Structure 1
Amino acid sequence: MSCRFDLHPITRRSLLGGIAASSALVLLHPFTARAAANQAHLRLMETTDIHVNVFPYDYYADKPNDTMGLARTATIIDSIRAEAANSLLIDNGDLLQGNPMGDYMAYQHGMKNGDVHPVIKAMNRLGYTVGTLGNHEFNYGLDFMFKVLGGANFPFVCANLTKGQLSSDPKKDDLYFKPYVIVEKQIKDGSGNESQVKIGFIGFVPPQIMLWDIKNLEGRAQTRDIVEAAKAWVPAMKEEGADIVIALSHSGIDGSAPSEKMENASLHLAAVDGIDAIFTGHQHLVFPGPKSWDGIANADPVKGTLHGKPTVMAGFWGSHLGLIDLLLEKDGKSWTIVDFTAEARPIYHRDDSKKVVADVGDKKEVIEAAKAEHEATLAYVRTPVGKTSAPLYSYFALVADDPSVQIVSQAQTWYIKQMLADTEFKDLPVLSAAAPFKAGGRGGADYYTDVPAGDVAIKNVADLYLYPNTVQAVVITGNQVKNWLEMSAGMFNEVKPGTVDAELLNGDFPSYNFDVIDGVTYQIDLSQPRKYDNDGKTINESSNRIQNLQFDGKPIDLDQKFVVVTNNYRAGGGGKFPEIAADKVVFQAPDTNRDVIVRFIHEQRTINPSADSNWTFKPLPGTSAVFQSGPKAKQFLADVKSVKLEDAGEGAEGFAKFRLLL
Structure 2
Amino acid sequence: MKKNGFKVFIVALMLLSLCFGTLGAQAAYEKTQPQTITVLGTTDIHGNVWGFSYENDKETTNTGMARIATYVEQVRAEQPNVILVDNGDTIQGNIMTDDLYNKREGAHPVMTAMNMLGYDSMTLGNHEFNFGENLITRLQALANFPILSANMSRHDGTMAALPYTIVERAGVKVGIIGLTNPNAPRWDGEKVDSFIYSPVGPACKKVVDIIKNKVDLIVVVAHVGMYPEYDEEFGSDGANKILELCPEIDALLVGHAHSTVSEIIGNTLVGGARNLGREVVRFDITLNTDRQVTSHAVSVIDMAGFEPSQALRSEPFIAKTHQETRDFISGGVTSADGTTSGGIFGKASVDFQPKNEIMGMPEGKLRDTAVMDLINAVQLANSGADVSAAALFSDSSDIPAGDINYGTIFGIYKYDNTLYRVPVTGAELKAYMEWSASCYNQAMPGDLTVSFNPEKPGYLYDMFSGVDYEIDLSKPVGQRIVNLMYKGKPLSDSQKLTLAVNNYRYSSALKAQKLVAATKEWESPNSIRDMLVQYIQENGTIYPKVDNNWKIIGVDFTSPYREQVVKLVNEGKLEVPYAKSLNVNQLKKDGILK
Whether 1:522 aligns to 2:469 is yes
Q: Do the aligned partners of 1:649 and 1:656 also contact (CA within 8 Å) in 2? A: no
Classify the secondary structure of the residue corresponding to 1:413. Answer: helix
Which residue of structure 2 aligns with residue 613 of structure 1? 548
Which residue of structure 1 aligns with residue 137 of structure 2? 146
Which residue of structure 1 aligns with residue 173 of structure 2? 198
Deviation digits for residues 376-404 of structure 1 (CA, Å, limit 9, x no counterpart):
10111232233333423374111111222
**Residue type of the alignment partner of 2:174:** I
Q: Do the aligned partners of 1:158 and 1:204 also contact (CA within 8 Å) in 2? A: yes
Deviation at 1:473, TM superposition (A): 2.1
Which residue of structure 2 aligns with residue 310 of structure 1? 269
Q: Could you tell me how far apart the structure 2 residues matched to 1:209 and 1:46 are?
A: 22
Whether 1:183 aligns to 2:167 is yes
Bigger drift between 400-409 and 648-657 goes to 648-657
Classify the secondary structure of the residue corresponding to 1:548. Answer: strand
Q: Indicate which of 466, 490, 513 corresponds to 2:438.
A: 490
Higher helix share: 2
Q: Indicate which of 560, 569, 572 corresponds to 2:507.
A: 572
**Residue type of the alignment partner of 1:399:** L
Give the unaligned 5+ runs of structure 1.
Answer: 1-34, 166-172, 188-195, 289-303, 349-358, 418-428, 440-447, 532-543, 628-636, 638-643
Bigger drift between 220-229 and 260-269 goes to 260-269
Q: Could you tell me how far apart the structure 2 residues matched to 1:233 and 1:198 are?
A: 15
**Residue type of the alignment partner of 1:200:** G
Give the unaligned 5+ runs of structure 2.
Answer: 1-29, 331-342, 355-361, 585-594
Q: Do the aligned partners of 2:282 and 2:299 also contact (CA within 8 Å) in 1? A: yes
**Residue type of the alignment partner of 1:464:** I
**Could you say what the CA RMSD is over the residues aligned between the two structures, in angstroms?**
3.1
Which residue of structure 2 aligns with residue 455 of structure 1? 403
Q: Could you tell me how far apart the structure 1 residues matched to 2:202 and 2:474 are?
A: 42
Q: Do the aligned partners of 2:85 and 2:120 also contact (CA within 8 Å) in 1? A: yes
Deviation digits for residues 189-244 of structure 1 (CA, Å, limit 9, x no counterpart):
xxxxxxx12111111111111121123222x22211111211222211225x1221
Q: Do the aligned partners of 1:504 and 1:626 also contact (CA within 8 Å) in 2? A: no
Which residue of structure 1 aligns with residue 351 of structure 2? 391
Q: Do the aligned partners of 1:311 and 1:342 also contact (CA within 8 Å) in 2? A: yes
**Residue type of the alignment partner of 2:128:** E
Which residue of structure 2 aligns with residue 251 of structure 1? 224
Deviation at 1:582, TM superposition (A): 7.6
Q: Do the aligned partners of 1:477 and 1:559 also contact (CA within 8 Å) in 2? A: yes
Q: Do the aligned partners of 2:428 and 2:516 also contact (CA within 8 Å) in 1? A: no
Deviation at 1:85, TM superposition (A): 3.7
Q: Could you tell me how far apart the structure 1 residues matched to 2:289 and 2:522 are?
A: 61
Deviation at 1:555, TM superposition (A): 1.1
Q: Do the aligned partners of 1:132 and 1:158 also contact (CA within 8 Å) in 2? A: yes
Whether 1:553 aligns to 2:488 is yes
Q: Do the aligned partners of 1:50 and 1:316 also contact (CA within 8 Å) in 2? A: yes
Q: Do the aligned partners of 2:84 and 2:120 also contact (CA within 8 Å) in 1? A: yes
1:577–1:389 CA distance, 2 compared to 1 (3 A): farther
1:37–1:179 CA distance, 2 compared to 1 (3 A): closer
> What does residue range 417-566 of structure 1 map to in structure 2 within 5 Å?
417=384, 430-439=386-395, 448-499=396-447, 501-502=448-449, 504-531=451-478, 544-566=479-501
Classify the secondary structure of the residue corresponding to 2:210. Answer: helix
Count of residues in Structure 1 that have an aligned counterpart in Structure 2: 531
1:226–1:621 CA distance, 2 compared to 1 (3 A): closer
Classify the secondary structure of the residue corresponding to 2:453. Answer: coil
Which residue of structure 2 aligns with residue 271 of structure 1? 244
1:568–1:555 CA distance, 2 compared to 1 (3 A): same
Whether 1:122 aligns to 2:102 is no
Classify the secondary structure of the residue corresponding to 1:601. Answer: helix
**Residue type of the alignment partner of 1:217:** V
**Residue type of the alignment partner of 1:449:** S
Deviation digits for residues 289-327 of structure 1 (CA, Å, limit 9, x no counterpart):
xxxxxxxxxxxxxxx123441011021111011101101
Deviation at 1:284, TM superposition (A): 0.4
Q: Which structure has the bigger radius of gyration?
A: 2
1:523–1:392 CA distance, 2 compared to 1 (3 A): same
**Residue type of the alignment partner of 2:123:** T
Q: Indicate which of 305, 314, 322 corresponds to 1:374.
A: 322
Whether 1:43 aligns to 2:17 is no
**Residue type of the alignment partner of 1:61:** N
Q: Could you tell me how far apart the structure 2 residues matched to 1:626 and 1:162 are?
A: 59
Q: Do the aligned partners of 1:624 and 1:659 also contact (CA within 8 Å) in 2? A: no
Higher strand share: 1
**Residue type of the alignment partner of 2:196:** Q
Deviation at 1:626, TM superposition (A): 12
Classify the secondary structure of the residue corresponding to 1:397. Answer: helix
Whether 1:322 aligns to 2:270 is no
TM-score when scaled to structure 1? 0.74
Q: Do the aligned partners of 2:200 and 2:237 also contact (CA within 8 Å) in 1? A: no
